Amino acid sequence: MASELIDIEADSGRFINRELSWLEFNSRVLAQAEDPSVPLLERVKFCAIWYSNLDEFFQVRVAGLKDQIAGQFTGTTPDGRTATQQMHEIRVAVDAQMDRAAACLDKQMAGLADAGIEILDWDDLDGEDRKYLSGEFDNRIYPVLTPLAVDLGHPFPYISNLSLSLGVLMVDPVDGHQRFARLKVPATFGRFLRLPGETRFVPVEQVVTAHLPTLFPGLEITETVAFRVTRNADLAVDEGEAQDLLAAVELELRRRRFRSVVRLEVEHLVSSEIRNLLIDELDIEREDVYESDTLLELSSLRDLHALDRPGLKNPVWKPVNPLPSGVPGDQAVNLFTRIREGDILVHHPYDSFTATVQEFIWQAANDPQVLAIKLTLYRTSGDSPIVQSLIRAAESGKQVAVVVELKARFDEEANIEWARRLEQAGVHVAYGLVGLKVHAKTCLVVREEADGVRRYCHIGTGNYNSITARVYTDLGLFTTDPEIGVDLTQLFNSLTGYGRDIEFRRLVPAPQSLRPKILELIENETTRGAEGRIIIKMNSLADSAMIEALYEASRAGVEIDLIVRAICCLRPGVPSMSDTIRVRSLIGRYLEHSRIYYFGNGEGVGVPAYYIGSADLMPRNLNRRIEALVEVIDPDLRRQLDQILEINLTDDVLAWDLMADGTWCRVANRVGFEAHSAFEQLAVQAAS
């Protein structure tokens, strides 16, 4: 199905707009919610993902464009658009997606009702159901509600980011004056109230609305509308001026709560009176208002996906332990022994994160021969067994150093809390380098052995997060390669201490070496012409210099396949510019997150080069982040990467192709080959 990207003439530029490309990615997510071949509750979940993705887009990307407009910035993007032009095209694309989402949700609700799961309006309830919910309101909801009047004595209240509110218009029968009040819908009780003994639900705001006379006794309610605001949530920390980065981030987090509103969502039946009042009080423009034909806060549909209805979901995948011990009871293998025998490549979520990465750090924390553990922490799970292992290691006297990225967007508060807990346990905590986010996924374990001190390394594409490891596809390399060990030691020393002009042997870090290295590898393929070959799997591609280098390679005849999950600003298939470039994206039950770089002639000697790591080809990854790629040289692991790339390029179920005009089209389903299922089968076969 073609997506709703605004038409752009193919010759209007060499680049696709970054923001519109991201919206196209979210359109592909929404397409999963529309796909009848996807199990019903999985479609509901995709609808929730689409909505939460859009929330983040407005909080960060739209907020940034609005800041440019407010600052009278007149520059243009590489594709030639001003901030104002982008805002207009974003509006058109979002409106189109919202229309699709409304139609999609109608079908999903009908399907859920057929399956015995009903989302009911208050007006649909019989007397018994209303009596039950009235009891819930009186006993649980009413005591926590706080109606806030708006008049000369009560200024318009602060509206917190992404909170659901009711705007209530009423008339005082005594003096005939009209009143307005805002009522925050508490998130304490979840988005839906469940009727007893059944899978029937009522949106909580409808229950509150039905009981407004209790909150405003003696007044006549004339209109009630649900609304929701989105605020600028981008973090702006002046690291050059900050003397204490942790304190500066905490201060900015407090300020972020009061940043400007960038979007107002309201129910489509809102009157002009309430709409205009909210526009004035929130200091926004009419173009910032989005009227919805569906429930607001669709991200809460995840609550329905949590229902115990396995027949309406994908089969539950149990990750395979790729390193079984062979001992009854599946006792964990000694990972240090196993890694010494040869490099290991793990592929999550097919290979168990718990039995590999998490177990590696647990064994290191509890092994008396381990002298030190060093790790980069970008995002981690709430209970984080890995952090608990690091704390245990420090408390037992090991040297533990953790580089915590305090500015990981929307994980800042969690990372501050982990940083404090780690410091209290005696862990050496560093926050990286001024002006750079630490995005590398690296761990170094130093162990004393009979033949001397040995360094065990893990370099991955994904975070040390046991929750996301269940749904993100990622790769990780375990190795005792001495050169990689030295490289990681130098990387950590530069992050916790000082260092310049460091020469790395096998590691390719950003911002020092990554850009020139990738450009060199592309140029090597370019010189080979039709004998050149490039395959890159990544999350996003937006760096202009990288795109130009790929265009040049294509003009030289190099065959190029790009597997890009989200943003792609390159135009493939344009005559005399990118004829030999193909771009595809896989969207399915697992989020594609691994990065693989393949160059058919490597360093120019005819031997292929394979790299994995944390970096995408985005300006932020290449210029403003600490990233790490590592070359994979073991022949068996290279064959494993070949297989992963081949499966991604063969898929005709989850795959979409990018057209030269910037639109994405589903790949024709010819043989029904689905990558995620294929990887599950391979994992089972490899472990058997």
Catalytically active residues are: 439
The strand pairing partners of 45, in sequence order, are none
Nearest-5° Cα angle at 221, 217 to 226:
115
Residue that is written with structure tokens 């599946």 in the block: 330
Cα 507 to chain center, whole Å?
26
Type of residue found at 65:
L
Other CB atoms within 10 A of residue 592 CB? 23
Return the HEC string of 551-591.
HHHHHCCCEEEEEECCCECECCCCCCCCCCEEEEEECCCCE
Q: Round to whole Å and give the CA distance between 552 and 255.
A: 46
Nearest Cα neighbor of 458 from 356, 386, 583, 541 is 356
The strand pairing partners of 106, in sequence order, are none
For residue 291, the surrounding DSSP H or E stretch is strand 289-292
User: What sign does the CA torsion over 637, 638, 641, 642 have?
Assistant: negative
Ramachandran region, residue 573 (left: φ > 0; alpha: ψ -120 to 50; beta: rest): left
The strand pairing partners of 263, in sequence order, are 230
| Secondary structure of residue 271 in the 3-state scheme | coil
The strand pairing partners of 351, in sequence order, are 320
Q: Round to whole Å and give the CA distance between 343 and 277.
A: 64
Return the HEC string of 163-227.
CEEEEEEEECCCCCCEEEEEEECCCCCCCEEECCCCCEEEEHHHHHHHCHHHHCCCCEEEEEEEE
Ramachandran region, residue 498 (left: φ > 0; alpha: ψ -120 to 50; beta: rest): beta
